[in-house]
Structure 1
């Protein structure tokens, strides 16, 4: 049995203007995450990947389909029942600068979710020191403010906060996109180390197929609210079957300038082919807009 099962998920947002029809963002997406597994969810901006994460976390209400966690239907849970899942379902957001309260010390930030779940202040303090060690931060961090840390260090604090209640699943929403490349690598390795130590599962959301390849067991590719390809990471990232997945792979930067130019030229060719095909279907405007991203 999978830890999280998303079946035929549909999400709609209200349209703009009086009597505007709702706009469907997700068109029947199905995916699952096993215990101790990382599933990478990849797609360009606007593909709907973050909406899936928000639906799993209960931050948006599905208009159709189901979400099951450890066998329990959770898509319709509200109030106390939903809050009861918080210790099992956690999130690491994209921006480490805004996801931490600037007026609270690191010790207070990490203690808060523990105290909410009934842990005493003294026990919470001890757990916080253990969490800081787990994410590679010095013990004196406990009395410091977020502004005293670098971006990578703040993201480590955010990871520690997600780990505090001992979750089974962490939704990672673009957690390294705001970091430089060397810091990205260290934070990704931290995610891997934590998974080996704790057995936690990740739904890892990113626009960068290179990042997804580094951390995921399986990959799910989302395009305009629809799942277009899924499979083992090695298979999807080395021999993609869908042209859109190939474009994403070509968009990942490489250190070799010659190879980077070859990838850029190839991606332009694929975009041009899409434009010609779309023109025949009356969808030129949408593809052109995507090509400018």
Structure 2
């Protein structure tokens, strides 16, 4: 298994992706006010960096990723990529941005079209960007090799692969256009522990080779810690703490971050019981 790991410090330089005071709200239902899901979020992701975004279910972390991808409208604030505001981009500009911004979704079983072969799935973004047949075939072969799948995988359907293999296909698709940023939305949460580690190692290796930046979204602080240069903690639609990975995970400042650390499972039953009690006691601090 690879022993790759993120650099000790985040890469220097200006932000590749920048969110400023981003607010997103959804309809509250019949005769109810809109529900504000993101409440003034500020985030930066630098080139070649992994920013881990961690929070519990319902915290708004996935909504941040969807706002970046243009899948939900931004009510106010700005989302900028490489200095260009993209939250107001039209459909044509969004298609062009797919060269630079890609996504890996949580569920490898539903993120792939079951009726398309793996080769057709990988060819789609290449053809959409004007790739020729010969170049597309060569790129598909290189992508399958990079994610350690056999060449004949191109002729098979997603149902013929395991969950971990399907996630490798999803990673290959995200890499097809050589993006500069990939939004990783809980990319290993649906996988078993052994497969999870191999996928994380693969993502780290790819970053070392290509200098792609990741926004790595997860509810699991231990996974985020192993992947990230910096970590942002989100709670109820607000970023409550941001810092270098070691600082946030070893000396957290916000009570909510400390409760996330207490949520991490441990093998010792007595220690797990102590953590559960400490988490319950701390829940009223924020």
TM-score by length of 1: 0.91
Q: Secondary structure at the match of 2:99?
A: coil
The runs of 5 or more residues in structure 1 that have no matched partner are 279-293
Question: Superposition pairs for residues 128-143 of structure 1, below 5 Å?
Answer: 128-143=140-155
The Cα offsets for residues 8-46 of structure 1, whole Å up to 9 and x where unpaired, read as: 11111112103x322111110101000000000000111
| 1:266 is the counterpart of 2:270 | no
> Residue by residue, what CA displacement relative to the aligned partner does 1:205-243 show, whole Å, maximum 9, x if unpaired?
000001100100000000000110000000101111111
**Unaligned 5+ runs, structure 2:** 1-13
- Count matched residues: 273
Q: Which moved more, 1:188-197 or 1:117-126?
A: 117-126
Q: State the Cα deviation string for residues 158-202 of structure 1 (Å, max 9, x = none).
A: 000000011000001111000011111110011100000000000
Q: Does residue 201 of structure 2 align to residue 189 of structure 1?
A: yes
Query: For 2:242, which of 230, 241, 248 is the aligned residue?
Result: 230
Q: Write the deviation string for residues 94-136 of structure 1: whole angstroms up to 9, x where unpaired.
A: 0000000111111111111101101112211110110011111
- 8 A Cα contact 1:111 1:121, kept in partner: no
Secondary structure in 2 aligned to 1:170? strand
Partner of 1:281: none
SS of equivalent to 1:187: helix
Counterpart secondary structure, 1:244: helix
Q: 1:7 aligns with which of 15, 20, 28?
A: 20
Question: Which has the larger helix fraction?
Answer: 1
Work out the CA distance in 2 between the residues paired with 1:157 and 1:261: 39
1:159-238 residue pairs with structure 2 within 5 A?
A: 159-238=171-250
Give RMSD over aligned pairs: 1.2
Residues 186 and 258 (structure 1 numbering): CA distance in 2 closer, same or farther, change over 3 Å?
farther
Question: Aligned partners of 2:19 and 2:231: how far apart in 1?
Answer: 15
1:77 aligns to 2:89 (yes or no): yes
Distance in 1, matches of 2:157 and 2:269, equals 41
Cα 1:257–1:140 shift into 2, 3 Å = farther
Moved over 3 A (4+): 255-259
Look up the match of 1:16.
29
1:122 and 1:183 map into 2 onto residues whose CA distance is 33
Say which is worse superposed, 120-129 or 93-102, in terms of deviation. 120-129
* Aligned pair partner of 1:68 in 80, 86, 93: 80
TM, length-normalised to structure 2: 0.93
Question: 2:190 and 2:110 mapped to 1: Cα distance?
Answer: 12
Q: Is the 8 A contact 1:88 1:168 kept in 2?
A: yes
Work out whether 1:111 is the aligned partner of 2:131: no
1:48 to 60, 80, 91: 60
CA deviation after TM superposition for structure 1 residue 82, in Å: 1.8
C-alpha distance in structure 2 between counterparts of 1:15 and 1:227, whole Å: 23
8 Å Cα contact 1:41-1:204 kept in structure 2: yes
